[in-house]
Amino acid sequence: MLAAAHLLNGLLMIAVPLALGVVLARRGRLSWSLFGAGAATFVASQFLHIPFNNLVLAPFVTERGMFAAGGLAFMAAALLYGLSAGVFEEVARFVVMRRWAYEARRLPSAIMFGAGHGGSEAIILGGLVLYGFFQAVALRGMDLAETLPPEKVEAAAAQMALYWSIPWYQALLGAVERVGAICFHLSASALVLQSVRRGGWGWLAGAVAWHTLFNTATLIVMDRWGVYAAEGTVIVGAGIALLILWAMKRRDAPGEEIGMRIPDTAQPHLGRRLIKDEEISDDSLEDSRYL
């Protein structure tokens, strides 16, 4: 049962975002290129985000013992990591939607973009989960001393014992977390869309703050109350994200499909695309209830 749960966890982390993409593409008549653009945006943001965390933020936090100290110091460290994720990912989302992903300037399209952003993260993590599962299956019952250096045997044995002893339902928490995270990314894309459409930095700052809060709260709750409380926090965050989407849909003006200041070189292509969007927009309104 536990082995099946570990396997299912990885498969769901990959399948859920792809299934969401299928639903959004069919119901909203949206292109998978939007999903791909969101996925590429997440991956590109990590080329700056991960080095910054490893080379700047982690040494800063470690030298001051912020995580080990607990209390306010731990909260401050969690806030810094949450802010780091918010700045790099939301600014990347804004730049791509502002400069290149012109078709993501309608709310349904921005949500498809967000599905790709959060979905790519889930798919990558799902692949890592499956890799770890097959490794654990291969090493189960083996003498680790025959395959690992002596200094790594004890730690590996402890990890293996934990992996194969947790309740089966705990093995599925990774998939639950990804569902919540994807909901968050849909709402973040909707917030960034407002910044792209209306100009100014207020909406972008709101997206960064929302990202920071989502990540920081999860880390703090995990430290204080454990994994189940942390996953509950993610689910609460997902509910808030869906409320944000509902509010964005209510205020979304049908005429605001494409934002401002589009480069002249993009006009011929976008003109054809706008005509197409206008032709289908009336028919698509009823199909947009899933937002």
Tokens of residue 207, six digits: 């997206």
What pTM was estimated for this model as a whole?
0.84
| Nearest alpha-carbon partner for 272 in 286, 285, 258 | 258
Q: Report the first-to-last Cα separation within the chain, whole angstroms.
A: 36
pLDDT digits (tens, 9 = 90+) for 206-263: 999 999 999 999 999 999 999 999 999 999 999 999 999 999 998 775 555 444 444 4
Q: CA-to-CA distance for 23 and 267, rounded, in angstroms?
A: 30
What pLDDT, on the 0 to 100 scale, is given for residue 105? 86
Distance of CA 175 to the CA centre of its chain: 12
pLDDT at 20 over 70: yes
Tell me which of 5-14, 57-66, 282-291 is least confident.
282-291
For range 75-88, the mean pLDDT:
98
Name the average pLDDT for the chain. 88
Tell me which of 76-85, 92-101, 206-215 is least confident.
92-101
What pLDDT, on the 0 to 100 scale, is given for residue 188? 98
What pLDDT, on the 0 to 100 scale, is given for residue 94? 96
Share of the chain above pLDDT 70, in %: 87
pLDDT at 282 over 50: no
Distance of CA 263 to the CA centre of its chain: 29
What pLDDT, on the 0 to 100 scale, is given for residue 253? 57
- Counting other chains too, the contacts that 129-132 makes at CB distance below 8 Å and 24 or more residues apart are 129/6, 129/9, 129/10, 129/13, 129/174, 130/7, 130/10, 130/11, 130/14
Higher pLDDT, 60 or 100: 60
Task: Give the chain's radius of gyration (CA, Å).
Answer: 21
Q: Give 278's pLDDT tier (boundaries 50, 70, 90).
A: very low
pLDDT digits (tens, 9 = 90+) for 169-184: 999 999 999 999 999 9
Distance of CA 287 to the CA centre of its chain: 25
pLDDT at 66 over 50: yes
Q: CA-to-CA distance for 223 and 205, rounded, in angstroms?
A: 27
What pLDDT, on the 0 to 100 scale, is given for residue 38? 97
Structural domain boundaries in the chain: 2-290
What pLDDT, on the 0 to 100 scale, is given for residue 279? 43
Residues 6 or more apart whose Cβ sits within 8 Å of residue 156: 139, 144, 148
User: For residue 187, which amino acid is it?
Assistant: S
Tokens of residue 44, six digits: 């590109």
Distance of CA 176 to the CA centre of its chain: 13
pLDDT digits (tens, 9 = 90+) for 118-174: 999 999 999 999 999 999 999 888 888 888 888 888 998 999 999 999 999 999 999
Longest dimension (CA), the chain: 68
For range 256-273, the mean pLDDT:
42
Q: CA-to-CA distance for 208 and 205, rounded, in angstroms?
A: 5
Higher pLDDT, 166 or 265: 166
pLDDT at 116 over 70: yes
- Cβ pair 114, 248 in contact under 8 A: no
User: For residue 144, which amino acid is it?
Assistant: L
